[in-house]
Structure 1
Amino acid sequence: MIYKTQGTCSRAIEFDIDDKGIINHVAFEGGCDGNSKGVAALVEGLSVDTVIDRLQGIDCRGRGTSCPDQLAKALSAWKAGEME
């Protein structure tokens, strides 16, 4: 699935979740390369709920959001059935 981010340097987040709600893959398009790869490596293998709880609300430079927060928003949208 691909989520178009808002308010961050990254433009989109691609992710895959298995049928048990475990994150198998995350890749950010744009943004800080090392940080994006680090966040992706840390969340792969974790449950959607765990990642949402840990990342939601993280702010970057007073923007009111961040790449990790946008990932939490993407996962919340997936969980709510708002993504195909």
Structure 2
Amino acid sequence: MFTYTPKGVCSKQMMFDVTEDDTIKSLRVIGGCPGNLEGLSRLIEGMAVDEVIAKLSGITCGKKSTSCPDQLTKALVEYKQGESTEIPDSVKAGMKLVESFLS
């Protein structure tokens, strides 16, 4: 799983998995509009990374010059360039604990 800190949007962190054939396996976003981001996550699951970048790049949100979908494309570009960082297992465990309290 790779993580990205978006800039200029309401979401605080994006985490995603990509398969060996460059297909989005999963997306998890912390912060932002929960319904919209859950919908986005479901829509891009199974899509090729390059297709997601092509379809979502440049989308804005209100008067902002970017959006969560646009920030996702920036995260995917970084992933492709090998600049993303993998989330340590200890952080993953802490995130699961927080999610269980929020559910």
Identity %: 44
Give, in whole Å, the separation in 1 of the partners of 2:54 and 2:21. 17
String of CA shifts for 1:44-71, please: whole Å, max 9, x gaps.
1000000000000000012110000011
- TM normalised by structure 1 equals 0.97
- Number of the residue aligned with 2:100: none
- Number of the residue aligned with 1:3: 4
Task: State the Cα distance separating 1:75 from its structure 2 match.
Answer: 0.3
- Tell me whether 1:75 sits opposite 2:76 in the alignment: yes
String of CA shifts for 1:11-60, please: whole Å, max 9, x gaps.
01010001110000001100000000000000010000000000000000
> Any stretches of 5+ residues in structure 2 without a counterpart?
86-103
What is the 5 A alignment of 1:1-84?
Answer: 1-84=2-85
Superposed CA RMSD:
0.7
SS in 2 for 1:62: coil
The aligned amino acid for 1:29 is I
- TM normalised by structure 2 equals 0.79
> Any stretches of 5+ residues in structure 1 without a counterpart?
none
Considering only CA atoms, is the larger Rg found in Structure 1 or Structure 2? 2
Q: Which runs of 4+ in 1 moved over 3 A?
A: none
The aligned amino acid for 1:45 is G
